[in-house]
Amino acid sequence: MLVLGIETSCDETGLALYDSEQGLLGEALYSQIELHAEYGGVVPELASRDHVRKLLPLLQQLLTDSKVKLSAVDAIAYTRGPGLVGALLVGSATAQALALALQRPSIGIHHMEGHLLAPLLEDPAPQMPFVALLVSGGHTMLVQVQGLGHYQLLGETQDDAAGEAFDKTAKLLGLNYPGGPELARLASSGVAGRFSFPRPMTNRPGLDFSFSGLKTHTRLLWQRHQDATMDAAAKLQLQADIAAGFQLAVVDTLTIKCRRAMQQTQLQQLVVSGGVAANQALRSKLQQVGSKHGFKVSFPRLAYCTDNGAMIAYAGCLRLTQSHLQAAAPAMRTIDARPRWPLQELEP
Ligand code: KG4
Ligand code: ZN
């Protein structure tokens, strides 16, 4: 079965073709980073308009590059939510129009299920059951995955998501959007131990997270240690040291909770996905702790940590070939989007 995947939940227009026999046949991605950079964050209306502009040309490019005819597509998977409603509607409407024109089934995919399954695109693929740490711009959760659609939420953030904390902290340090990767780059030249940072919610039981306090802690440090006599080099070093301390605090906190989740579930496989899974400090710390405590840790390649069409095509293909969930029949089609959609509502 050849599935076309369409991702438009936020600021990336992603498309991919995934075949159940041959694997990934091609992909195309357009990032709106430059468009939103001057505003310091994603502007929802601009995001929607850009998806409208880019989606069909990207589809054309994908088909040409992968030498696939549109008529060869057997089904269309699109991100139904969660995400920005206008952005989601562009993907949903396009998917439904294509499905109607081609007389093919369509299926709405949960964006976080896409992230959760992305590590399975790698070879060798991690085997279920596993624990998934999902760390993106909008979500931070630990999920016990018994099988496709069998997701039990073990813990989640009570306030900011990990990626959101990276982005907000980067912004208050004066870094450019998108803040997460910028902050990580700066942190590599900083001394993490210069300032002490808390590891929120680690000294009490449970698997929930809280990152908003870390952001406030960073703001106070940044305000307190700057002074008018500081030269540019000293200011840059201060900024890097704070970034390194912040990053280490997030990485340690996530690692402590992952280890706890592995102990609690007695599972041997951890998968980590979502934009923050691209963070090198997090990747190496989790690998280190995994090998020390006897669990395997798998990540998607960097391009599949952040938003992409491949994970949506893949999730659609698995859902259509393995689950009992029916794709939308032509008569039942609606252009729908679920900006808020708890992962636990998904069915096997
Ligand atoms: O999964 P994603 O592309 O979009 C959402 O579904 O939210 O994740 C984007 C998030 C942003 O907050 C971004 O700053 C963060 O992932 N991110 C990083 C890194 N790369 C992306 N955070 C820390 N270090 C990175 N290297
Ligand atoms: Zn995402």
Question: Would the CB of 108 count as within 6 Å of ligand 1?
Answer: no
Distance CA(289)–CA(293), nearest Å, equals: 6
Question: Would the CB of 83 count as within 6 Å of ligand 1?
Answer: no
Please enumerate in sequence order all residues whose Cβ is within 8 A of that of 228, keeping only pairs 6 or more positions apart, or say none: none
Question: Would the CB of 136 count as within 6 Å of ligand 1?
Answer: yes
The overall average pLDDT reported for the chain is 96
Task: Give the model's confidence band at 335: pLDDT under 50 very low, under 70 low, under 90 confident, else very high.
Answer: confident
* H or E segment and range at residue 213: helix 212-225
pLDDT at position 329 over 80: no
Distance CA(171)–CA(41), nearest Å, equals: 9
pLDDT in tens, 273-291: 999 999 999 999 999 999 9
3-state helix, strand, coil in the chain (%, to 5): 50, 20, 30
pLDDT at position 17 over 90: yes
Of residues 238, 216, 215, 214, the one with CA closest to residue 225: 238
Task: Determine the pLDDT at residue 239.
Answer: 97
**Fold annotation for 2-116+305-345:** Nucleotidyltransferase; domain 5 (3.30.420)
Task: Compute the half-sphere exposure of residue 103: CA atoms within 13 Å on the CB side of its CA.
Answer: 0
Distance CA(166)–CA(214), nearest Å, equals: 10
Question: Would the CB of 275 count as within 6 Å of ligand 1?
Answer: yes
The mean pLDDT value for 103-124 works out to 97
Distance CA(282)–CA(324), nearest Å, equals: 36
Asked whether the beta carbons of 68 and 2 are under 8 A apart, the reply is yes
Task: Give the model's confidence band at 330: pLDDT under 50 very low, under 70 low, under 90 confident, else very high.
Answer: low
Question: Would the CB of 222 count as within 6 Å of ligand 1?
Answer: no
Separation of 323 CA from ligand 1 center, angstroms? 30
Of residues 55, 60, 39, 40, the one with CA closest to residue 87: 55
Of residues 158, 136, 155, the one with CA closest to residue 277: 136
Task: Tell me which architecture the domain covering 128-299 has in CATH.
Answer: 2-Layer Sandwich (3.30)
Task: Determine the pLDDT at residue 347.
Answer: 87
The mean pLDDT value for 88-107 works out to 95
φ and ψ of 135, to 5 deg = -130, 100
pLDDT at position 331 over 70: no
Distance CA(112)–CA(165), nearest Å, equals: 18
The mean pLDDT value for 57-69 works out to 98
Pocket test for ligand 1, best of 157, 214, 306 (most atoms within 8 A of CB): 306
pLDDT in tens, 132-163: 999 999 999 999 999 999 999 999 999 999 99
More confident residue, 72 or 332: 72
What does the buried/exposed string (b/e) look like for 201-230 if buried means 16 or more CB atoms within 10 Å of the residue's CB? beeeeebbbbbeebbebbeebbeebeeeee
Separation of 158 CA from ligand 1 center, angstroms? 18
Where in the sequence of the chain do the CATH 3.30.420.40 domains occur? Answer: 2-116+305-345, 128-299
Question: Which ligand lies nearest to the CA atom of residue 138 in the structure?
Answer: 1
CA dist 109 → 54, 146, 172, 278, 323 (Å): 20, 18, 34, 22, 13
User: Whole-structure pTM over 0.75, yes or no?
Assistant: yes
DSSP, residue by residue, 60-116: HHHHHHTT--GGG--EEEEEEESS-HHHHHHHHHHHHHHHHHHT--EEEEEHHHHHH
Per the listing, tokens 């095509």 go with: 313
pLDDT in tens, 182-192: 999 999 999 99
Of residues 341, 309, 343, 307, the one with CA closest to residue 81: 341
CA triplet 271, 275, 279: central angle to 5 degrees?
80
Asked whether the beta carbons of 284 and 187 are under 8 A apart, the reply is no
